[in-house]
Amino acid sequence: MTIQKEIDRRKTFGIISHPDAGKTTLTEKLLLFGGAIQEAGAVKSNKIKKGATSDFMEIERQRGISVATSVLAFEYNGMKINILDTPGHKDFAEDTFRTLTAVDSVIVVIDVAKGVEEQTEKLVEVCRMRNIPMIVFINKLDREGKDAFELLDEIEQKLHLKVTPLSFPIGMGYDFKGIFNIWENNVNLFSGNSRKNIEETIEIEDIASHELEDLIGDKPANTLREELELVYEVYPDFDRKAYLDGTLQPVFFGSALNNFGVRELLDCFIDIAPKPRPKESDTRVVKPEEKDFSGFVFKIHANMDPKHRDRLAFVKIVSGTFERNTPYLHVRHGKKLKFSSPNAFFAEKKEIVDISYPGDIVGLHDTGNFKIGDTLTEGEEMQYKGIPSFSPEHFKYINNADPMKSKQLEKGIDQLMDEGVAQLFILELNGRKVIGTVGALQFEVIQYRLEHEYGAKCSYETLNVHKACWIDPKDPKSEEFADFKRVKSKFLAKDKRGQLVFFADSAFTLQMTQQKYPNIEFHFVSEFDKNKG
């Protein structure tokens, strides 16, 4: 099969939502349709509650939240589909933002009862800024929730999207009868049995016919006709170009837990979703069909298998083919590396692959060569753009709680920071280590993982910092910069890459400092690709 055919049959997308909207459940059901799993983890019995397939870290199982982005792949109708299941919890937004650099499209999951929630707004904003094509899936229709039109209005107003429904619910909650599939022109009846793989689908040639009454009853049939008339009047027709440009968002309704409306979503998705797209580097735009391989690291995960102290760097392939045992240039280090066992993923299962194509995600075993944002090529000197590290909002001193295990603590902190779980700063004044995170829950995750994966114990002390800013003086040799360093010495630290960082204890302090030192720039985002080092 030619590289173009392989590119054409690939779809790589992320699933985003507020916590508890049913994102992980939807991921499971998509895998179920792809035959990738036999039974979904969300199926409950009296004695056991299986962990969801994509939540493979112990702390996720305990807390019931996804804290690490999982990579899952499956085949469906001749297509190779790569799903990146992202953490919904706001404390892990940074991981999700980085994952969005590796997807070609997105499915946004919204809870029918709660509607648009805060975390969804933030994530959709990132997708909108990047013009990522989005499909909206309104979930949990078997529960009482908001009216369908009210939800569509809310999505348009709060998320600033232009929507067009491609399916529509027949009733809701206790009265939920099923879905009218506008995309395929059929009715899907709801039995409420989550163990049935696929619900009964009945083709409807004309919704004015009495066939509809026979299926769902007189009153629901009349209501559906009225609502569909309104849908056709109010919302634009689906236009694939507008969807691919990020200016029109199709909407589907369903219940992921009951495996309902998921097949309709998946069938339409493989029809309309984009194949792997070009990506901008610091020198040019790179197209997938180019002959030479290139890709970038968007995630690093330590200890995916606690029995083996392994780190995996997740690489999104942008162009060309990635082949096993072939030397590729690690641009930042300026040296060639060979990979004897690149992995493809299915949740906890990994398999070694000989060749991967644009759109695919490969996991490379890493002994510490990689950082997030690193670029691999066949020799071209370029760096992919737009993988930021955000200014943390929570800061704590990290202390060693077991002096006998200081080596393990050092190694653990080092590896977890490379993963991008949090950021490490070392104070210039006394060398004390400070951990900065975007969300407070990360401190718990770090403590847990240090103990369970590295056998090291840590304790924290609160540090009063309002913002960490990366410092960029116009003239590093100026009197002004020397004065800044002297006056602010207690508040200066270096990040992991040796960049100077200023800790401001309040917004007022920051403002005054910026006024006093006009020739020093204070950055709140560190773009990885500014630094080759």
Segment 31-76, tens digit of pLDDT: 787 665 555 443 333 333 444 544 445 555 554 444 344 678 888 8
Q: Say if strands 343-346 and 467-473 run parallel, antiparallel, or are unpaired.
A: unpaired
Residue 505: left (phi > 0), alpha (psi -120 to 50), or beta?
A: alpha
Predicted local distance difference test score (pLDDT) of residue 53? 46
- 51 in helix, strand or coil? coil
Q: Please check whether residue 135 is in contact with residue 108, taking contact to mean a CB–CB distance below 8 angstroms.
A: yes
- 43 in helix, strand or coil? coil
Report percent pLDDT > 90 for the chain. Answer: 35
Predicted local distance difference test score (pLDDT) of residue 387? 65
Residue 531: band (very low, low, confident or very high) from pLDDT cuts 50, 70, 90: very low
Segment 486-516, tens digit of pLDDT: 999 999 999 887 889 999 989 899 999 999 9
Segment 315-332, tens digit of pLDDT: 999 999 999 999 999 998
> What dihedral angle (degrees, nearest 10) is formed by the CA atoms of 84, 90, 95, 96?
40
* Residue (of 113, 84, 94) closest to 417 by Cα position: 94
Residue 304: band (very low, low, confident or very high) from pLDDT cuts 50, 70, 90: low
**Measured distance CA(155)–CA(176) in Å, rounded:** 22
Q: Name the token pair of 393.
A: 């909002």
Q: What is the mean pLDDT of residues 94-120?
A: 85
Q: Is the pLDDT of residue 208 over 80?
A: no
**Measured distance CA(375)–CA(527) in Å, rounded:** 14
DSSP letter assigned to residue 44:
B
Global pTM value: 0.74
Residues counted in the chain = 533
Predicted local distance difference test score (pLDDT) of residue 201? 67
Inter-CA distances, 23 with 145, 216, 492, Å: 17, 29, 41
Report percent pLDDT > 70 for the chain. Answer: 83
**Measured distance CA(403)–CA(94) in Å, rounded:** 32
Give the helix ranges, DSSP H, for 160-256: 211-216, 218-234, 240-244
Residue 224: band (very low, low, confident or very high) from pLDDT cuts 50, 70, 90: confident
Q: Is the pLDDT of residue 271 over 50?
A: yes
**Measured distance CA(72)–CA(267) in Å, rounded:** 18
Predicted local distance difference test score (pLDDT) of residue 197? 44
**Measured distance CA(276)–CA(321) in Å, rounded:** 13
Predicted local distance difference test score (pLDDT) of residue 481? 93
Residue 529: band (very low, low, confident or very high) from pLDDT cuts 50, 70, 90: very low
Tell the CATH superfamily of the 3-272 domain.
P-loop containing nucleotide triphosphate hydrolases (3.40.50.300)
Q: Say if strands 285-286 and 361-365 run parallel, antiparallel, or are unpaired.
A: unpaired
Predicted local distance difference test score (pLDDT) of residue 483? 94
Q: Where are the beta strands (DSSP E) in 439-504?
A: 458-462, 467-473, 492-495, 500-504
With b meaning 16 or more CB within 10 Å and e meaning fewer, what string describes 246-283?
bebbbbbbbbbbbbbbbbbbbbbbeebbbbbbebebee
Position with higher pLDDT, 447 vs 217: 447
**388-530 — its CATH code?**
3.30.70.3280
Q: Name the token pair of 292.
A: 């030479």
Position with higher pLDDT, 204 vs 174: 174
Question: 47-51, 99-103, 264-268, 421-425: which has the highest mean pLDDT?
Answer: 264-268
Least confident window among 210-214, 255-259, 289-293, 372-376: 210-214
Predicted local distance difference test score (pLDDT) of residue 55? 47
The ranges of the chain annotated as CATH 3.30.70.3280 are: 388-530
Residue 399: band (very low, low, confident or very high) from pLDDT cuts 50, 70, 90: very high
- When the pLDDT of each residue in the chain is averaged and rounded to a whole number, the result is 81
The ranges of the chain annotated as CATH 3.40.50.300 are: 3-272, 279-377
Predicted local distance difference test score (pLDDT) of residue 479? 93
**Measured distance CA(315)–CA(17) in Å, rounded:** 23
Residue 92: band (very low, low, confident or very high) from pLDDT cuts 50, 70, 90: low
Predicted local distance difference test score (pLDDT) of residue 42? 39
Q: Is the pLDDT of residue 434 over 90?
A: yes
Inter-CA distances, 396 with 422, 442, 466, Å: 11, 11, 12
Residue 210: band (very low, low, confident or very high) from pLDDT cuts 50, 70, 90: confident
Q: Is the pLDDT of residue 367 over 50?
A: yes
Burial class (CB in 10 A: 0-12, 13-18, 19+), 448: middle
CATH topology of domain 279-377: Rossmann fold (3.40.50)
Q: Is the pLDDT of residue 530 over 60?
A: no
CA–centroid distance for 152 within its chain = 24
Q: Please check whether residue 107 is in contact with residue 37, taking contact to mean a CB–CB distance below 8 angstroms.
A: no
Predicted local distance difference test score (pLDDT) of residue 388? 59
Position with higher pLDDT, 446 vs 524: 446
Please report where in the chains the tokens 């404390």 appear, as a residue.
Answer: 91
Least confident window among 49-58, 267-276, 465-474: 49-58
HSE-up of residue 281 (Cα within 13 Å, Cβ side) = 21
